[in-house]
Amino acid sequence: MTDATAELKVTAASDIEVDRDALDQSIKEFAGPNGDYYVNAFHKIHDATSAVPNTFNLWAAVLGPFWSASRAIWGMFWTFLILEIIAWVQIGRGAWGNPGADLAERAARQQDRANELLGRAADATEQADVDRFTKLAENIQRAADSSLEKAQAAQSEALGIMITGLLMLLVFKLVQGFYADRIYEKQYSNWRIDPESTESGRSNRNIVLGAILIAAIGPLIVYKFTVNASLAMLDAFPEKEVSALILGEGQGTLFSTVATWMEAQIDAAALAGGDVFDGIVAGVRSVLDGLTIALIGSPWPVVMLVICVTAWRAAGPRVAIFTASSLAYIALLGYWDVAMETVALVGAAVLLCVAFGIPLGIWFGKSKRAYRAAEPVLDLMQTLPAFVYLIPIIAFFGTGNPPGILATIIFGMPPVIRLTALGMRGVPESIKEAAVAFGASKWQLLKDVEVPLASPSIMAGVNQTILMCLSMVVIISLIGGGGLGKEILEALQYAAKGPGLLGGFAILFCAMVIDRIVQGAFRREDEKV
Amino acid sequence: MTETVVKLTDVWKIFGARAEEAMTAVRNEGIGKPEVLERFNCVVGVQGATFEVPRGEIFCIMGLSGSGKSTLVRHINRLIEPTSGKIEILGHDVSQISETELRRIRAQQIGMVFQHMALMPHRSVRDNVAYPLEIRKVSKSKRWAVSDHALGLVDLTGYEDRLPKELSGGMQQRVGIARALASDPEILLMDEPFSALDPLIRLQLQDQFKALVAQLQKTTLFITHDLDEAIRIGHRIAIMKDGVIVQIGTPEDIVMNPADDYVREFVQGISKLKLVKAHSIMEPLDSYSGPTEGAPRADEGADLDQLIDLAVNTDLPVIITDGGQDIGVVTKPRLLRGIQGGKND
């Protein structure tokens, strides 16, 4: 055995000496200027056993947020900047603000009126007029007195407000003084763990930044809240003036200019790409027509039977019974045709989502660069409110069912793309390597290994997409989409409670039936693997 | 000498964006691994590997993790392209062949077994074993027959229609071996096949594998980080360290004559009883002057274990014979030193 192990001696915890030198060095390195003070303060904190702070940082108390800014403790800076501004606003209101100003003004007006009335009473010749004016003048005089009293009361409160402000400021200063070193010590601990991203020392940049922030925020806020009639420019953004400055007087606002320009651009694009857009609409329409013929063109008993049997085979007898009763509800209330139109709309949207989404997902799963480029677009497709892209869709594709399907695709496609890509990336490298080692070509690798192993994730994506498409079906009625959504939109426009609710339940049942059947089918698939 | 099946000549692998530049610098300036990392930000995986493996040999490549052994073996079926050097299989340079031809060689001539089994979870055991044949578009009936036969070789008859997840780890690895054997390849590449298994199963599989390979006469490259395993299985062993092959030799060679301190440290703990043979510890008959009357006799190929059995009942040395001819003696001190691993007095 080596000597090092032999010499290793065991020391009881109570006998271990604290090695200060290394720590001092590190604290000095962290603190920069004034290192000795912080070495001392941090040692006091490290040695303390009670929760009461035993250090007081005079400069932190005096300089307040400016100190925390210079030391880059930004959380403390913002907290105490806001608190100190509140205190200063109170002080300002007490010192130079005039809390009773509006009341005093009113009192003066009432006094004038009373004096005027008294004058008229004096001028009046008839006794009745004299009495009437005197009476009025007395009433107004009373009101003026009461206003004056209130104004004086408010004035006398001013001192109280100022004292409250001063007390608040004192408390905040004391808190900062007592806790500054403790907070700075926390920052030091963070700095030890992650010196790269934790600021240390005192930099000129932070001092300047802190000074600018304090100078910009403090005086403006105090001014706005303590002076009775502050500048109008501070109350609302002067967009009209800025527009006039940029565009010239009388040329309209920036908003109207940009909006007009965009409208022209969209119109031009719609005109230029007219054939392309018409082609897309025709393609979507052909898919929709196929589904519509199958669902509405076929005799209703056939469609019902097929749906029920599918439910039974895919998801078992319970779902089949639920499906049958849902279909009965829809048919008995006369929703059969519109409900089938809805199913055709959703079906066409889902078919197109899957047909384009899965290949895209496979591509994004294989190419990191493509996925990085596509990710913001996918985020946009999912987060942009549907109402926003309905407008350009009308411009490019017109109104009716096919544009509705396109809007649905925008909303519904991201999940299947994302989950396919996720599934592709989740296929274990070792299994892919094995297939390649046995001579599989790229296509064989995709067909035999990657897609089968990614399929649970892909199926989850398809299910998500179906649900998203269903939820879009009401919204597309706004741009002329038909089906149950249209019924509900009409009910909404006339505030027709009964029809609205019945239609709503019909959509709910459609959604539940489709979801149950699909989930049941996927679960059976999953059990195989 | 039998036919050479696998031949590597000065194979280098450097990972990184500037591998070519780094390779040139290595060639011209002879810089080492640390300089390559510093100057080109490239990692040297394999440095100048050269060896030949004849038909039917089990060639073990032993090294710790990160020593480049897995990288080296993946050059043989070109899962990894060499930065420089030549790799020949049955006399054909594999770096020159087309993509199609490469796939054919992978499917027909090279079977590979992986540390983590790498079975396809959605296919039955039979379909997993038949996959290399499926890639070659062999008919289904033929595939099934071949895979059932391969499963029979590894004692898995009766499990053909199970899914891999229903099998234990050891059984799954046997499926992996059956898959590698299914296309009746010339070469088996074993990438730490038994490392993830528990010790008893590992011993069992090692013996089973050794017998199987002897029977089928497959040329095998066997990667392991376990020297015991290498010694049990390998006809020859290559020891790798930091991408360099430090020593190539038979198990006895390596244990008795380690090339450097690194290898010496490795073989220290290895039991020599079954490894060291009488001829390597005996002294010549003429230099021995003690009594030999009635001494026990042993063949020169007898191992230490057998010699101990003979020596334990007598005070005399053991006489070593070669083809009935007395050629040397092993005295007690020599025997004891031999057990220690050839330490000199």
Mutate to test the interface with B, among A438, A444, A459 (most CBs of B within 10 A): A438
A88: pLDDT strictly greater than 50: yes
Copy the structure tokens of residue A274: 């007219």
The Cα of A439 is separated from the nearest Cα of chain B by a number of Å equal to: 4
DSSP state of A4: H
Contact A453 B116 (CB under 8 A): no
Q: How far apart, in whole angstroms, are the C-alpha atoms of residue A145 and residue A151?
A: 10
Q: What is the DSSP code (8-state) at residue B315? A: S
Judge if A158 and A248 occupy the same domain. no
Within-domain flag for A10:
no
Identify the band that residue A9 occupies on the pLDDT scale cut at 50, 70 and 90.
low
pLDDT at A135: 84
Tokens at residue B34, please?
Answer: 């640390």
**Claim to verify: residue A252 and residue A382 sit in the same structural domain:** no
Residue A7 included in any domain: no
Supply the pLDDT for residue A228: 66
Half-sphere exposure of A417 (CA within 13 A, CB side): 23
Pairing of the two strands B219-224 and B187-191: parallel
Quick one: pLDDT band at residue A1, thresholds 50, 70, 90? very low
End-to-end Cα separation, chain B, in angstroms: 38
In a domain, A1, yes or no: no
Q: How confident is the model at residue A424 (pLDDT cuts 50, 70, 90)?
A: very high
Specify whether A455 is located in the same domain as A326: yes
Residue in A434, A441, A449 nearest the CB of B103: A441
Find, in chain A, the residue whose alpha carbon is nearest to that of B106: A439
Angle at which helices A484-493 and A497-528 cross, to 10°: 150
Distances from the Cα of A462 to the Cα of A112, A438, A470, B265, angstroms: 80, 32, 12, 58
User: If DSSP codes are grouped into helix, strand and coil, which group holds residue A90?
Assistant: helix
Within a domain: residue A502? Answer: yes
Write out the residue range of the structural domain in which residue A52 sits.
17-233
Instruction: With CA atoms as reference, report the closest residue to B245 among B76, B63, B26.
Output: B63
Q: Indicate if the pLDDT at residue A10 is higher than 60.
A: yes
Query: Given strand B219-224, what is the order of strands in its sheet?
Result: B110-113, B187-191, B219-224, B58-62, B236-241, B244-249
Sign of the CA dihedral A368, A372, A377, A382?
Answer: positive
Q: What are phi and psi of B198, to 5 degrees?
A: -80, 160
Q: Is the pLDDT of residue A230 over 70?
A: no
- B313/chain A closest Cα distance in angstroms: 37
Residue B122, chain A, CB below 8 Å: the answer is yes
Which residues, 6+ apart, have CB-to-CB distance to A132 below 8 Å?
Answer: none
Residues A30 and A118 in one domain: yes
Q: Is there a domain that residue A9 lies in?
A: no
Burial class for B269, CB neighbours closer than 10 Å (0-12, 13-18, 19+): exposed
Residues of chain A neighbouring B179 (CB-CB closer than 8 A): 438
Evaluate if residue A417 carries a pLDDT over 90: yes
Print burial letters for A368-394: b (CB count within 10 Å at least 16), e (below 16).
eeebeebeeebeebeeeebeebbeebb
| Pick from A431, A437, A448: CB nearest B79 | A437
Domain boundary among A210, A233, A256: A233
Do A470 and A516 have their domain in common?
Answer: yes
Q: Does A441 touch chain B (CB under 8 A)?
A: yes
Q: Are residues A178 and A314 in the same domain?
A: no
Question: Taking a C-beta distance cutoff of 8 angstroms, is the pair A417, A383 a contact?
Answer: no
Report residue A496 CA to chain centroid gap: 34
Q: Per-residue pLDDT for A249 more than 80? A: no
- Give pLDDT tens digits for A269-314: 888 888 888 899 999 999 999 999 998 888 999 999 999 999 999 8
Select the residue of B79, B105, B111 nearest A436 (Cβ to Cβ).
B79
Q: Which residue in B58, B59, B108 sits closest to B211, CA to CA?
A: B58
CATH number reported for the structural domain that contains residue A515 in this entry: 1.10.3720.10
Q: Chain A contact for B89, CB < 8 A?
A: no
pLDDT at residue A11 tops 70:
no
- Residue A444 with chain B: CB contacts under 8 Å: 135
Same-domain check for residues A183 and A315? no
Reported as a pLDDT band with limits 50, 70 and 90, residue A527 is low
Is A365 within the bounds of a domain?
A: yes
One domain, residues A132 and A196: yes
Task: Report the alpha-carbon distance of residue B190 to residue A219 in Å, rounded.
Answer: 76
Residue A34 covered by a domain:
yes
Structure tokens at A488: 């509900």
Report yes or no on A12 lying in a domain: no
**CA R_g for chain A:** 38
Output the CA torsion A260→A265→A267→A273 (10° steps): -170
Which residues are CB-contacts of A222 (< 8 A; sequence separation ≥ 6)? A85, A88, A89, A92
Give yes or no: residues A371 and A422 share one domain.
yes
Entry field: residues in chain B: 345
Distance, CA of A110 to CA of A116 (rounded, Å): 10
Question: Are A513 and A480 in a shared domain?
Answer: yes
DSSP annotation of B276? -
- Mean pLDDT across the stretch A482-506? 89
Are A202 and A190 found together in one domain?
A: yes
Confidence band for A350, pLDDT divided at 50, 70 and 90: very high
Q: What is the DSSP string of A183-223?
A: HHHHHHHHHHH-TTTS--S--HHHHHHHHHHHHHHHHHHHH
Tokens 């070495």 sit on residue? A39
Q: Which residue of B has its CA nearest to A525?
A: B122
Q: Name the nearest CA neighbour of B321 among B294, B299, B342.
A: B299
pLDDT of residue B303: 82
User: Distance of alpha carbon A375 from its chain centroid, rounded?
Assistant: 19
Residue A3 has pLDDT above 60, yes or no: no
Is residue B60 within 8 Å of residue B230, measured between CB atoms? Answer: yes
**What is the pLDDT at residue B342?**
59
The mean pLDDT value of chain A amounts to 86
How many of the other CB atoms lie within 10 Å of CB of A155? Answer: 15
* Residues A333, A258 share a domain: no
Please report residues of B whose CB lies closer than 8 A to that of A441: 103, 135
Task: Give pLDDT tens digits for A148-207.
Answer: 888 888 777 888 888 899 999 999 999 998 888 888 888 888 888 888 888 888 888 889
Q: Which of A327-336, A465-474, B281-290 has the highest mean pLDDT?
A: A327-336
Tokens 């702070």 belong to which residue? Answer: A53
Place of tokens 């489709």: A514
Of all residues in chain B, what percent are helix, strand and coil, respectively (each to 5)? 40, 25, 35
Of A73, A143, A134, the residue nearest A108 (C-alpha): A143
Q: Does B112 touch chain A (CB under 8 A)?
A: yes
Number of structural domains found in chain A:
3
What is the pLDDT, as a whole number, of residue A53? 66
Which tokens is A449 given? 């290994």
Mean pLDDT for back-to-back runs of 10 residues, chain B (345 residues): 82 85 82 81 86 90 86 88 88 85 88 89 91 89 90 87 88 89 89 85 86 87 88 89 88 83 82 77 80 81 83 84 83 82 57
Distance CA A472, CA A459 (A): 20
Instruction: Give the domains, in start order, of chain B with CATH numbers.
Output: 54-109+185-267 (3.40.50.300), 278-340 (3.90.1280.20)
C-alpha to C-alpha distance for A286 and B230, rounded to whole angstroms: 67
